[in-house]
Amino acid sequence: MKQLIICILLCLTGRQAAVAQSVKIGGVVTDEEGAPIELATVRLEGTLTGTASDLKGRYSLKFERRDSVTVVFSMLGYQTRRRTLVRPQGNIRLDITLPSLHFELGEVSVTERRRQTGSMQQIDAASGKLMTDASGSRIEALIGTQAGVSNNNELSAQYNVRGGSFDENLVYVNGIEIYRPLLIRSAEQEGLSFVNPDMVQSIAFSTGGYEAKYGDRMSSVLDITYRKPERTEATASVSLLGASVYAGLATRDKRLTWTHALRYQTNRYLLGTLDTRGEYNPGYTDYQTYLSWSPSRRWELSLIGNLARNSYDFQPADRYTRFGTIENVRTFKVYFGGREKDLFLTLSGAATATWHLNENTGITLQASAFHTREQETYDITGQYWLSDTEADGAIGVGTYMEHARNYLNADVQSLSLLLRHRLKSHAFQAGAEVRSEQIRDRMSEWELRDSAGYSLPHTPEGPELIYTLRSNNRTESIRTSFYLQDTYRFRSPAGLFTLHAGIRGSYWNWNREFIVSPRASLALIPAFNERFTLRLAAGVYYQAPFYKEFRDTTQVDGAIAVSLNRHIRSPRSLHLVAGGDYNFRLLNRPFRFTAEVYYKALDNLIPYNIDNVRISYYGRNLSRGYAAGVDMKLFGEFVEGTDSWLTFSLMKTEEKLGGKWLPRPTDQRYRLSLYFTDYFPGSRRWTMNLKATLAGGLPFGPPHSGRETALFRTPPYRRVDIGLSHNLIRPNESAATRFGLRNLWLGVDVFNLLNISNVNSYYWVTDAAGSRFAVPNYLTGRKINIRLFSEF
């Protein structure tokens, strides 16, 4: 019995001694404003022992007792802090505050950016505030400079991503999916995009491998969040291309905020540089409002509304185009008659109610509606002469007539329920949505060509129209969808991991199709070098057809009739993406190099043709294909105190149609893009921004023909825009105080600095012998714009 008691005492003593040898420290990592910092690294200096803070900034670290230990707290974008503990023992609470890491460069403060640990990259909206842009859609112009993105028309806000068309891109504003008019066929008709740059707070963008919470599209996601002002503020701008006004209001407790924005744009000034001369009268007007109210800490209510009216009135007079080579110069002369008159009216709105059950859980109910009323009408007659300057006489002489009466009404309503919950290192999200769609169209188009007195095509019975299309359709359908996803962050000896995994499902009663999309991405900040961030992503992405995609065309008695295909299936894309970032300093300035390689396996594709910005679908699942490439981006302070970036992309996309592999209409093999900003030597008041693009040509072929004839390529797209801005009034100056101004900028832009004639599309001329000639339709030439921008 005595020996047993001695053994028990020895065991207890040994256990207490072992416990006494272990030390546990914990606490919270916050910034200077007291907000928690997630993913902050906490490690013991000189060892491999470490951890990372959770979503609330909390951390816990256990180690063996020693005489002295130094704890290192670090996070990209913040100053590193060290705390030395002498003879630590037991449980120790150690809270730490990390000041922001910034470098004062005269009057400019540049802060390092946090790294990308998911598929969405954060883009600084302020970086495009003074960007030179001819389209009037500054946010989309900023997106167009990113790696993997292409836009070959300066008048349009549309962009293609990694071989996909613009219809394959998702756009969200405050969680609401954005739609655009459906009948637009040219950039001149397009007008303003939905996103108002003056209202934007943050921009998140993904070129592939995005999360399950985003909808069924195959290429990209642009996720915009509108700002909630912290005080009364306003901006105003005016230029030769239009004007805009923004006002933001906020109560003292910031529970109620309300913003208003009004825009007007006309590209009449730019259209004057086109080969076709005439009376252009485009006008684009847009009003948006965003109201947010928090009646209590648990509730948040918001409303967002938009009214847009885009009109295009055009009476062509004549056109003169020179094209060809130095040895073989041809001219194309046309005298016009007739008129085109288009109107696109859109209304949209959304209401959101969020209930915060506690700091970790929230439920959101969201309702939205979209309405568009569109009309496209024209009767244009042209008499043309196609000549060779080296030969006498005309190659082709003829007359053509084009007619259209196209009308479309569309309504979309949706109701969704979202759930968010945080649990330690997990962030769960779930959602369900019901969407109703009603679309009605009445379309009538025809075209007549008469070359040298012979109508083409010519038959013994008499002349026939070269192209006719008639449509009178109505569709009503309901889509339901759901998603579940989790974000899990954990640390291992290899480094800090971030895992996004989820699944999305949706059902469409039009074709009775149910689709399931599993998606996942993994990011690693390796322990051997925290300057790297490595990423992998994979997932199945569908392109849920929307109106244009399932309009099937059949030829009956020489005319093309449009019917709606109930047997259409959703095209599918399997994304495989691998890449990463490397953060480094050069000349004591921050830089980041990003590279990604990707492969997309495509099936159930609906082939399409692109003419200008109009996408015409076959209306049936007829092909399969692929897209593969590499994107690279160098971002940093090329000039001290300003952000610039250089991107380079290689890409190839093809589809197998009719047993033959053909390049897809978006097959742009290479693209080099530069956005460069600078200050004038000796003065921070003068700034310069330069946007340059060099991109490969796109496939094209004769109109109203199959993809098999698209065997030609447009010339490379080359363009340089430059802008100079002078800060007339800056904060804290006497003039600023007197007039209530924060900033006043006067700018001068030069569009198409090198005056390069880029090709937008082609007009095809046929002579009586049946020979076809492709006459290029050039984009805008060099123009100077003057603008005034103020902040209050």
Tell me the C-alpha distance between 544 and 509, whole Å: 12
Q: Could you tell me the pLDDT band of residue 108, with boundaries at 50, 70 and 90?
A: very low
Residue type, 545: P
3-class state of residue 9 by DSSP? helix
The answer, yes or no, to whether residue 719 has pLDDT greater than 90, is: yes
Tell me the C-alpha distance between 317 and 338, whole Å: 9
pLDDT averaged over every residue in the chain: 86
The answer, yes or no, to whether residue 697 has pLDDT greater than 80, is: yes
User: What Å distances lie between residue 586 and 189, 393, 469, 591, 637, CA to CA?
Assistant: 46, 63, 60, 7, 9
Tell me the mean pLDDT in the region 80-98: 86
Full-model pTM: 0.83
Tell me the C-alpha distance between 652 and 174, whole Å: 34
**Share of the chain residues as helix, strand and coil, in percent rounded to the nearest 5:** 5, 60, 30
Q: Could you tell me the pLDDT band of residue 309, with boundaries at 50, 70 and 90?
A: very high
Tell me the mean pLDDT in the region 581-594: 90
The answer, yes or no, to whether residue 53 has pLDDT greater than 70, is: yes
The answer, yes or no, to whether residue 555 has pLDDT greater than 90, is: no
Residue that the structure tokens 């060290």 belong to: 82
* N-terminal to C-terminal alpha carbon distance within the chain: 88
The answer, yes or no, to whether residue 105 has pLDDT greater than 50, is: no
pLDDT of res. 391:
65
Secondary structure in 3-state letters for 277-330: EEEEEEEEEEEEEEEEECCCCCEEEEEEEEEEEEEEEEEEEEEEEEEECCCCEE
The answer, yes or no, to whether residue 662 has pLDDT greater than 60, is: yes
Q: Could you tell me the pLDDT band of residue 682, with boundaries at 50, 70 and 90?
A: confident
pLDDT of res. 685:
84
The answer, yes or no, to whether residue 701 has pLDDT greater than 50, is: yes
Tell me the mean pLDDT in the region 27-39: 82
pLDDT of res. 413:
96
pLDDT of res. 395:
73
For residue 582, what are its two tokens? 């490397």
Tell me the mean pLDDT in the region 539-560: 83
Percentage of the chain surpassing pLDDT 70? 91
pLDDT of res. 210:
92
pLDDT of res. 37:
87
pLDDT of res. 84:
85
pLDDT of res. 107:
39
3-class state of residue 123 by DSSP? strand
Tell me the mean pLDDT in the region 364-379: 94
The answer, yes or no, to whether residue 14 has pLDDT greater than 80, is: no
Listed residue (241, 248, 240) closest to 288, CA to CA: 248
Residue 790 has phi, psi (to 5 degrees) of -135, 150
Tell me the mean pLDDT in the region 643-671: 94
pLDDT of res. 370:
96
Tell me the mean pLDDT in the region 117-144: 85
pLDDT of res. 537:
95
pLDDT of res. 155:
86
- In the DSSP assignment, the letter for residue 570 is -
Which pLDDT tens digit goes with each residue over 174-197?
999 999 888 888 878 888 889 999
The answer, yes or no, to whether residue 18 has pLDDT greater than 50, is: no
Tell me the mean pLDDT in the region 328-347: 89
Tell me the mean pLDDT in the region 706-734: 85
Tell me the mean pLDDT in the region 458-482: 78
Percentage of the chain surpassing pLDDT 90? 46
The answer, yes or no, to whether residue 378 has pLDDT greater than 70, is: yes
